[in-house]
Structure 1
């Protein structure tokens, strides 16, 4: 099959943009991953690998490799295969993206991704208002505001913390492109459009309203500001930009909190309520209503998970048996609330410790901190922000168990690695020229 280099490059980058946008829709994204793999197999001769790229492929695929190495420890062959299948994108993405690393358009992909995702969320937000007027009326009247973000996410077909992890990264990227737009003289249309996209993206982070995503968005904003603005602007422009940014963020935040009084409660009393009941949640009257999403519930899960992990520190209980064994432990220790709702670990390091023993959390650390190495090596605020986002999200959740966390991180990890290879090769060529 013949295709020009220019068209091939366009198709590869088009796939990456579509995959990034579709990541919040599991079935369409799965189909796109298959199509992406098939397309690349037809042009396997176009791929180019270096020693560094092969090492990066192994690092990105490390959770999959761990599953393969520890496959013998599963009690069920079929369930073990099902668990293994979830990580297939961690081989597809690095092999095919890093094989095309010279063709990857890093900033263009990020720009199109952030704009398109924000527009799609705006569509679903309008759809939510039209098709769920009873919920909208209830929230406008201040009733059951704790469920608002979850109901909106459910209307799209994704879990709220997962959706907001995506949206936090979109919002961070959008702010980066606002600063980029203001560096260009007389591009007022671009400046206004970029600002609107950023405000909308931050509003959606607030609307879905998960704590870690909001915290990570604010950290990401700071990293982008200090990493991109302070390094590239003079002092007056830095101060002026900071003032405008604070006014915009403060205005959006004030507007939202004023219309969502539950937010004050959620980030104070609800989060830290009943901390004296760790491991004793059944002593709380109606725990479903009072502590379902509170810190005390996660700490109770972590306590049980750690106790279970200590019994299987060397090899763990098996990839397919982690959650069943944890739920079984809830029942054995008479924690009926946790057993009833079959809570997962809500901590990726602890989850892999239970499943794979001491090797598990080590692989998670290598996987996530390689992203930080790429970011700090390039001094790139967006990549560092992604590292902070994914690292902290996996401290309070377990996104390497879910498609929207596995594929999300695998895709961007591969794109970041491609950009790192591009920059490294450019530096090496300059040094050789000298």
Structure 2
């Protein structure tokens, strides 16, 4: 098949943009990944690799390679195959994205993702208003606000914490583009970036998960340091800081004043009953009293760590972690946890539980590969992504979910392209 380099590059960029922009829809996104892989296999001679790019590909695909290495340790091999299948995109995405690195524009890909995804979430929000007027009416009246964000995420098959991780990244990405447009005096892009950023931040507050809000503030702080403190005069730094803080705090103040449950959730509920770890059944109604409390997570983590310590060398098996954890709940008479079959809710402990000490090493390698690329390139977005994904996985296990696996594997691969193109020692490095 004859295809010009220009047309080939266009198709590659269209496909990668569609993959990341449709990540909320698992089936569609999966088919796009398959099309992307097949297209690259047909034109495999156009892929280019160096020793450094292959090392990065191996680092990004390390969770999948770990699944293969410990495949024998599953009680049921077919379950192990399903577990490995979930992470195979961590091999395919870096292999074919990094192999096309000279054809990928980091900033264009990021901005297209932000623009399309914010528009999509806005559409889904309007759809939610129409198909679930009961929940939206409850929200407007300030009742049962804890439930509405989860119902919104569920309305299109997403889990609220992982949706809010995406939204947090969108918000800080908009902030980064607004500062970039300010530096280049591009007023149109300033307005567009701020509008998209305000919408993204509103959705973060609407879904209302605690870690996502923390990630927004941390991410903006990192971007402010990288893009303002290090590059602008003190006077401009102060002006930008005051303006940004005023907008952010005003939005937050208005929202919190109209959302009384938010104060209760972030302070009273979160840190209540910490003396009841592994004793949640002592509550008369734990579903109401501690379902969303930190003490529930601590009880889960303590149980997972107890199992991990006993299997620290090889773990319990990649597909058997949740089964072993549920069995432990039952054996230790923690019937509230057993009833709801809570997963680990911590990716670091999840890898320790399933793979032992090797799992801890691999999750650290995977995350710090991203952190290293951000540090070397001094790129605020890469560093922010590293922080957002690392912190989010303290209270959830996103590398067992499609939306977390593809999200992190995709962006790690895009960041690798950016890193390699900046690396003067890479043999395939070209000026862009």
2:366 equivalent to 1:367: yes
1:341 counterpart residue number: 340
CA deviations over 1:281-312 (Å, ceiling 9, x no partner): 00012111121121100000011111111221
Secondary structure of residue in 2 paired with 1:54: helix
1:34-73 matches, within 5 Å, as 34-73=34-73
For 1:116 and 1:256, locate their aligned partners in 2 and report how far apart those are by CA, in whole Å.
25
CA deviations over 1:159-211 (Å, ceiling 9, x no partner): 000101111111111110111111233x3332212211111111111111111
> What TM-score comes out, normalization by structure 1 length?
0.97
1:128 counterpart residue number: 128
For 2:224 and 2:296, locate their aligned partners in 1 and report how far apart those are by CA, in whole Å.
35
Tell whether the 8 Å contact from 1:171 to 1:201 is kept in structure 2 after alignment.
Answer: yes
Secondary structure of residue in 1 paired with 2:314: coil
Change (3 A) 1:161 1:198: same
2:391 equivalent to 1:396: no
1:327 counterpart residue number: 326
Count residues in correspondence.
430
Tell whether the 8 Å contact from 2:314 to 2:355 is kept in structure 1 after alignment.
Answer: yes
For 2:220 and 2:398, locate their aligned partners in 1 and report how far apart those are by CA, in whole Å.
22
Gaps of 5+ in 1: none
2:29 counterpart residue number: 29
Q: Shift in Å at residue 266 of structure 1?
A: 0.9
2:117 equivalent to 1:117: yes
Structure 1 ranges of 4+ moved more than 2 A: 187-190, 425-430
Alignment RMSD, CA only? 1.5
For 1:325 and 1:315, locate their aligned partners in 2 and report how far apart those are by CA, in whole Å.
14
Q: Shift in Å at residue 426 of structure 1?
A: 8.0
CA deviations over 1:323-378 (Å, ceiling 9, x no partner): 00100000000000000000001111111111111111110001001100000000
Change (3 A) 1:427 1:76: closer
CA deviations over 1:65-109 (Å, ceiling 9, x no partner): 111011111110111100010011011101101111111110110
Secondary structure of residue in 2 paired with 1:128: helix
Tell whether the 8 Å contact from 1:115 to 1:174 is kept in structure 2 after alignment.
Answer: no
Q: Shift in Å at residue 231 of structure 1?
A: 2.2
For 1:172 and 1:25, locate their aligned partners in 2 and report how far apart those are by CA, in whole Å.
23
For 1:32 and 1:109, locate their aligned partners in 2 and report how far apart those are by CA, in whole Å.
16
Q: Shift in Å at residue 381 of structure 1?
A: 0.8
For 1:40 and 1:223, locate their aligned partners in 2 and report how far apart those are by CA, in whole Å.
36
Change (3 A) 1:428 1:34: closer
For 2:251 and 2:112, locate their aligned partners in 1 and report how far apart those are by CA, in whole Å.
24
2:191 equivalent to 1:192: yes
For 1:149 and 1:14, locate their aligned partners in 2 and report how far apart those are by CA, in whole Å.
31
2:298 counterpart residue number: 299
> What TM-score comes out, normalization by structure 2 length?
0.97
